[in-house]
Structure formats: C-alpha cells, structure tokens
Structure 1
Amino acid sequence: MQYAIKNNLAITKQKEECLVITVQLGKLQSNLIKEIDEENNGLISQLIKSGDINCQLGKTTFLYTLANSTKQKILVVGCGDAKSFDLNAAKKVIQATIKELASKKVNHICWDILTLNSAISCEIAKQLPQIVSELTYCFDEFKSTKSEQPSLQKLTLLYGDKKTVNQVEGQLSQGQIIANAIVSTKNIANMPSNVCNAKYLAEQGKSLGQQHTNLKVTCFGEKELAKLNMNAYLAVGRGSTNESIMTVIEYHGAKDKKAQPYVLVGKGLTFDSGGISIKPSAGMDEMKYDMCGAATVFGVMQAVAELKLPINVIGVMAGCENMPDGNAYRPGDILTTMSGITVEVINTDAEGRLVLCDTLTYVERFNPKTVIDIATLTGACIVALGHHYTGVMGNNPQLVEQLITSSNKAGDKAWSLPIDSDFQEQIKSTCADIVNAGGRDGGTITAACFLSRFTEKYQWAHLDIAGTAWRSGANKGATGRPVAMLIQYLLDQK
C-alpha cells in the first residue's frame, strides 16, 4: 500500500479514481462538500437533505461518476457529530471506508479525513496504515488457492495546514512502519510448528540482521546455553528433537553506544504440548502461538531498525519446544537455574517461566535501563482480562504506568495487576527455593511472582499476552499485539 499527502484541497481537481469525502450531522458541511455541490448543482446537499446520504458515524454511500465536471466515483462517509469526532470515531470511519472500497474494487482514492479535526490529524495519520493493514491482512502461504490481493493500492490524503504537514507526514510514516512490523509478527506467529521452530526463529533473526546493517544478531544453541548454565531453559526443550536456540538482536542507536539499553525478552515456545503434564487435545493446535512473545520481539526490532531510534535496544527471542518423550523433564524434578535459584517442577506445562527465568538472568550482562518480557504465559490472564487487555505487572510502578500510558496512546489496551508479597507465599517449595506453579488462584500474578525472583537487579515489567496475542475459532490467527504498544513505549523514550 502506498500513502501520500497533498496540500491541494481543491477536491474536484484531484485525478484519483475515487474521491472519499466525509459528511457530518447538521447543516454545517466542509468546504469540500460545497465545492462538489457547486460543480454538480448542489447534489450532495440534496442527497443529505433527502436522507439518501446518511451522516451517522460509519455510514457509507457510494456514488458513481456524476453528470457534470466531477468525473470520479465518490464515496461519502458519515462522521456523526463534529463535536464528538475523536480518534475512536475516526477509527470506525476508516474501518467502514476500507471495507466499502474493498467491495467496490477501488484501486486509488483521495480522502479528506485529515481535515476533519486538526487536533487529532497526527493520530489519525498514524493509525490509518495500521487499520488498513489489519483489514487487508491475509495469511495464505499454505493454501493451494491464494486469496485475491486487495484492490486498494494507493491512498492519497488531503491536508491543508502547510505549517504542520511535515509532522503529519512523519506520523503517517511511523504508522506504516508499525503496520509492517505487526504484519511481520503475524506472519511468524501464524507459521505451523513443523516449520517454525527455534531454528526458524534464529534464521528469521539472522535475515533481519542482513536486511538492516544497524542490527547485530547472535544465536546461542544448546551447547552455548549449557556453558551459560541455563539449565531451566534447557530442561524444557529436552523432550524435543528440535534444538533450543536463543536469538539476541542488538540495536545501538544512541550517541553513546554503551548507554543502558532497553531490553525486550520474548517467550518463544514454538509448540507447547504441556510436556509430561500434557494438555487436553482440544485446542492444542493453538499452542503454535505460544511463541507470540518472540514474534513480537522480532516485529518491534524490525520497527526499531527502520525508525532509527536514538536509543539502544536489545531483543531476545527465547526459542524452545515443550514435548514429552523419554528424555523430557518431569513433575518433581528440581532444576538449578542460571541464577543459582533452585526450582521444584510441579507442572511441566508451566514451562514458559522456566525458559524466561534463565533468559532474564542472562540479560543482566547488558546493564539494562529497563527489561520487559512478553509471554503467552497463563490462561488465568484470559479469565482475568478476557481477550481485550494485555496484563502488566512489574517491580517498578513507574515503568508499569509508562507501559499503560503507551498502550492507551497506541490503541493497544493493557491493564495492570498487583504483584506483592502475599502472592509470593504461593510459590514456596518444601524441597527447593521455589515451585514453578502456584496453583489456580491468582495464576497470572503468581507466574509474575516467579519471574520477579530473577529480575531484582533491574527495572522490570512482565506482559502476559495469553488473551491478546491470537484469536480462536473461525477467525483463528495472530493479532500482532502488543507490537504497537511496545513501539510506542520506545518512541516515548527518545
């Protein structure tokens, strides 16, 4: 998809195939409507007055070539009350417009949506490519008959304020980069587990490093992980024939290359059978999405490289597969982690925290400014927050608040959950330092409590994306969340 911004607001002089114009409730309409009216004997106003054009939010009316000087097709989109036209309303208008254009097989449009509310023009420009990408995304790599490509290829936006046009163009460019990062995350996350294993993640990381010279990529196989004493990480992958591989992607964009980096750690369980504590068969196919944390890290690092952020960022994809066989780790095993903390395995299906705990210890060497781990960690998070909010916990209230603020700005909702000493009691062990599962009650929080034991040397936050990383059912597929939230967080650190 190509995007462009024009300063010329004379709507009838545009040469695109289709003009998309917005109408509002009430008698007051934009100058663009008046311009079309002047060329076409007041047609638009007449249709509004007669009710043939509906000005309610998201309502669309498609008009083919008009009789007089306006030769293009026209799509009229209702924006509701001008006083209440905010970013959420704009999103609904964009969604309705793109769906209608898709049904009419339109290739190139000119649109006045940025002229509606100058106070939110930048936000609209940033969100628009993301919404368009979401509506047109299709994963059909393994289908013998490919989906029809979206007809819409170019979108030109009208904008009248020459003083701020560069700022709006910058936000539009950011939105495109974020949209592309989300697509990359979805593409990796949607891959089947017989293709996407830890080696595949490592290869994708290396490929990203080849595409962007400002990235350095290092991969650690099982021999290297063993030398680092990452025994918990290795235990999880023992039952799989696929090697466990940790992929580290480094970006140094700050003037001081040794400045403390922001570190992202993604859980990369490319398939989670539950191990010896095997999961029920129903829905187990969706456990290919247990690596969405790692896929998120990939997407964010792609965006960081393209945005050329003036900060240092390190992304870690902790690739692994949890399978049952004669060499698999067992309930009752006691593992000595990289940090020296011992863990009694109560449930081999609480494996993600075992992979993460060693990875979180590993990243201490970077002297991080903050560390954020992203993981499809607990079904309990779905019970608590549904599929709407990503759960946020951490050892630094300011960091948690920053992430919530960034999530709201990005339209990628998150909500904080408590993490305190009362919950820590649930992970005590009688024969080791801690257990790897604290029971059903507060399961999301006790999982975070487990991770907190390995993050005491830096500011840390944990994102539980079990409810937001993918959709089930007829629309099964990765969502690309929380890529937008994390990119916004990093943008806010500039």
Structure 2
Amino acid sequence: MEFQIKNSTIITKQKSECLVISIDSGKSQSDFVKEIDKSTNGLVSQLIKSGDISHELGKTTLLYATSSNLKQKLLFVGCGNAKAFDLMQAQKVIQAVIKELLAKKIKSIAWDLLNVNHTNSLQIAKQLPQIVSDITYQFDEFKTTKTPAPSLTKVTLLVSEKSMLTKLTNNLLQGEIIANAITATKTIANMPSNVCNAKYLAEQGKQLSKVHPSLKVTCLGEKELAKLNMNAYLAVGRGSQNESIMTIIEYQGAKDKKAQPYVLVGKGLTFDSGGISIKPAAGMDEMKYDMCGAATVYGVMQAVAELKLPINVVGVMAGCENMPDGNSYRPGDILTTMSGTTVEVINTDAEGRLVLCDALTYVERYNPKTVIDIATLTGACIVALGHHYTGVMGNNDKLVAQLVSASQKAGDKAWALPIDNEFQEQIKSTCADIVNAGGRDGGTITAACFLSRFTEKYQWAHLDIAGTAWKSGSQKGATGRPVAMLIQYLLDQ
C-alpha cells in the first residue's frame, strides 16, 4: 500500500480512481465540496440538502461518474461536527471509508480528510496507515487457499495548508512504520505453539538484527539462566520439552552510548496450559497468545530501529512454555528467585509473574531510565477494563501518566489502576516471603504488587494486556496492542 500527502487546493484534478469527500454538519461546506458541487452542476449540494448525502459520522455515499467534466467516482463520508472531529471520530470515519473502498474494489483515492479539523490532522495522518493495515491484515500462512491482496493500492491525502506538509508527511511515515510493527507483532502472536516456542522467538530476534544492524541480539538458554539463579523463570518451563530462552535485543541510538536505556520486558509464554493447576479445556487454544507481551517487544524494537530514535532501548522477550509433566513445578513449592526473594507457589497458572520477576531483576544491570513490562497477566484485568483498555500500574506516577498520555495520542486506550500498600497484604506467605497469587479480589493489582517487589531499584510500570492483546470468536486473532502506545511513549522521550 502506498501512502502520500499532497499539497493541493483543487481536488477534481487528482488522477485517482475515486475522490473521497468529507461532509460536516456545518451550514457551509469546505472549498473541496464547493468545487465538486460546481463540477456536478449543483448536484452535490442538492443531495446534501435532501439528506441523500449525509453528514452522519461514518455514513458513506458512492456516486459514479456524474458528468463529462468529472470522470472519477465520488465517495462522500459524514464527519459530524468538524469542530468536534477528534481522533476517535476520525478512526470511525477511516474504517467506514476503507471498508467501502475494499468492497467496491477501488484501487486509488484522493481524500480531503486532513482538512476537516487541522487541530487533529497530525494524529490522523499517523493513524491512517495503521487503520488501513489493520483492516487489510490477513493471517493465512497455514491456509491452502491464500487471501487475495486488497484492491486498494494508493491513498493520497490532500492538504490545503502548505506549511503543514512536512510535519504531516513525517507523521504519515511514522504511522507506516508503526503499522508495519503492529503487523509483525500480530503475525508472531498468531503463530501456533507447535511453531512458535522460545527458540522461535530467539530466531525471530536474530533475523531482525540481520535486517537492522543497529540491533544487537543475545539469547540466554537454560544453562545461562541457571548460572544467573533465575530459578522462578526456569521452574515455569520445567514441564516442557521446549527449552526456555530469554532473548535480549539492544539498540543504541543515543549519542552517549552509556546513556540510560529505556527497557521493555515482554512475557513470552508461548503456550500456557496452566501447568499442574491446569486450565479448563474451553478456550485453552487461545493460550498461544500468552506470549503477546514478547511479540509486542519484537514489534516495538523493529520500529525503534526503523525510526532511528536518538535514545537507547533494550527489549527482552522472556520465552517459556508452561506444561504439566512429571518434572513440572507444583502448588506448594517454594522458589528462590534471582533477587533472593522466596516465593510460595499457590497456583502454577500464575506463572507469568514468576518468569517476569527474574527478568525484571536481570535488567537492573542496564541501570535503566525506566522499565516497562508487558504481559497478558490476569483475567481479572478483563473483568476490570473489558477488552477496551490496557491496565497500567507502576511505582512512579509520572511514568504511569506518560504511558496513559501516549495511549491517548496513539488511539491505543490505557487506564491507570492503583497499586496501594493495602493490596500488598494479599501476597503475604506463611512459609516464604510472598505467594504467587493473591486471590480473586483485585487480582490485577495484586499481580502488579508481586512484580513491584522486584522493581524497587528503578522506575517501573506494568501493562496488563490480557484484555487487549487478542480477540476471540469469529474475529479470533492478535490485535498488536499495545505496540502503538509504546512507540508513542518512546517518541515522546
């Protein structure tokens, strides 16, 4: 798909197959609409007046060649009140237009979208490639019949203000890079567990470093993890025939190579059966998505390299598989973590935090500026925030606020949850320092409390993506969230 931004005040001279025209609820339409109306001898204004062309948000009306002067197809889309046209409304409009274009097999368009409300045009330019990519994405690697490529191949956005052209073009390019990163994340996350294990994640990391020499990749297998006393991490994978491997991707973009890096740690449970505390059979197939945190790290690191960000970033994919076996760890076991903290295992299905706690201790060596872990950690987060918001918790209010702000800019919703000391009481153990599960009440927060015990030496935030990383049912598949939020956070830095 080719995207471009063009400075033009004349839409009828565009050579695209279809002209997409934004209609708002105001008494006076844009100059582009007036130009189209003149070219159609007043037909458009008549149709707007009669309501056949609607300003209702996302409502589309397609007209075929209307005169000898205008041979392009015309697709009108309602944008509501232009003054209130924000990022969320723009997303709905873009989705409606792209779906209509694909249904009609239109190949190229010119669109005046960025002129509806200049206040939000920069964000909209960044969002458009991501939305188009999401709608056209297909995971058909294992299908015998492949999905045909989408008919739409070129999108030209028209902007009347020449002074905005450079900034808009830069944002559009950023949007394409983010879209590619989200696609990469979704594809890895959608892989079945008989293909995607910790070794596969490690191989993907190595391949990424071959494409982007600015990335350095290190893979630590079970022998290396044992030398580091990462006993909690290793315990989770003991029942699996697939080796646990932690893959570290380092990027140095800052002028000062010793500058403190931003560290991302992704939970990479390539399959989670629950272990001895085995899960119910219904829906267990979706536990291949328990590595979406690691897949997110992969996508973000790809984007960081392509954007050539002037900061240092470290990404950790904590690959592992949780299976029941004669060698599996058990409820009642006590594990000594890399930090020396002891953990009583109450539930082997609360395994992600055991993998993460050692990985979070490991990254202390980088003297990080901030550390963000990303994990499909708790079903309780779905109860709290549904499938709409990623849960954000942490030990630094400024970092949490920055992540929520980035989520709003990126259109990738997140919501901050408290992490008060009262919740810490729920993870006390009678025979070890802490337990690995604090019960149903406040389950998302007590899981974060557990992780907080291993993050006291740096600024840390935890993203619980259990409700946002994938969809179930007929739309089953990874969403690629929260890649956009994290890239926006790094761009803000």
- Same fold per TM (> 0.5)? yes
Residue 164 of structure 1 aligns to a residue in which SS? helix
Find the counterpart in structure 1 of residue 66 from structure 2: 66
Local SS of the residue matching 1:11: coil
Give distance in 1, aligned partners of 2:30 and 2:383: 46
Q: Secondary structure at the match of 2:16?
A: coil
So what's the TM-score if we normalise by structure 2? 0.98
Code of the aligned partner of 2:470: W
Q: In structure 1, give the amino acid aligned to 2:50.
A: S
Percent identity among equivalent residues? Answer: 78
Aligned ranges 1:326-475 → 2 under 5 Å: 326-475=326-475
Q: List aligned pairs for 1:19-418, cutoff 5 A.
A: 19-418=19-418
> SS of 2:455's equivalent?
coil
Paired residue type of 1:259: A
Runs (5+) with no aligned partner, structure 1: none
- Measured in 1, the distance between the counterparts of 2:416 and 2:31 equals 45
Do the aligned partners of 2:83 and 2:117 also contact (CA within 8 Å) in 1? no
Conserved? CA contact 1:235–1:328, under 8 Å: yes
Q: Deviations over 1:106-152 (max 9, x none)?
A: 01111111112122111110111111111111111111111222111
* SS of match in other structure, 1:19: strand
Partner amino acid for 1:172? L
The Cα shift of 1:168 comes to: 0.5
Could you tell which deviates more after superposition, 267-276 or 13-22?
13-22
Partner of 1:11: 11
Any idea what the Cα deviations from partners look like across 1:168-205, whole Å, max 9, x if unmatched? 10111111111111111100111100000000000110
Code of the residue aligned with 2:348 in structure 1: it is T
Quick check: 2:19–2:110 contact (8 Å CA) kept in 1?
Answer: yes
Q: Which runs of 5+ in 2 are unaligned?
A: none
**Do 2:6 and 2:159's aligned partners in 1 also have CA atoms closer than 8 Å?**
yes
Instruction: Give the letter for the 1:83 counterpart.
Output: K
Q: Is the 8 A contact 2:247 2:316 kept in 1?
A: yes
36-45 or 432-441, which moves further after superposition?
A: 36-45
Larger mean Cα displacement after TM superposition, 381-390 or 243-252: 381-390
* CA deviation string 1:242-262 (max 9, x = no partner): 000000000010110100000
Structure 2: distance between partners of 1:114 and 1:460: 37
The residue type paired with residue 142 of structure 1 is F
Secondary structure of 2:119's counterpart equals helix
Q: Is the 8 A contact 1:40 1:68 kept in 2?
A: no
Larger deviation, residues 418-427 vs 123-132: 418-427
| 4+ residue segments displaced more than 3 Å | none
Distance 1:319 1:359 in 2: 10
Which digits, 9 at most, give the CA deviation of each residue in 1:345-365, with x for residues without a partner? 111111101100100000000
How large is the Cα RMSD of the aligned pairs? 1.0
SS at match of 2:266: strand
261-270 or 341-350: bigger deviation: 341-350
CA contact (8 A) 2:266 2:296 kept: yes
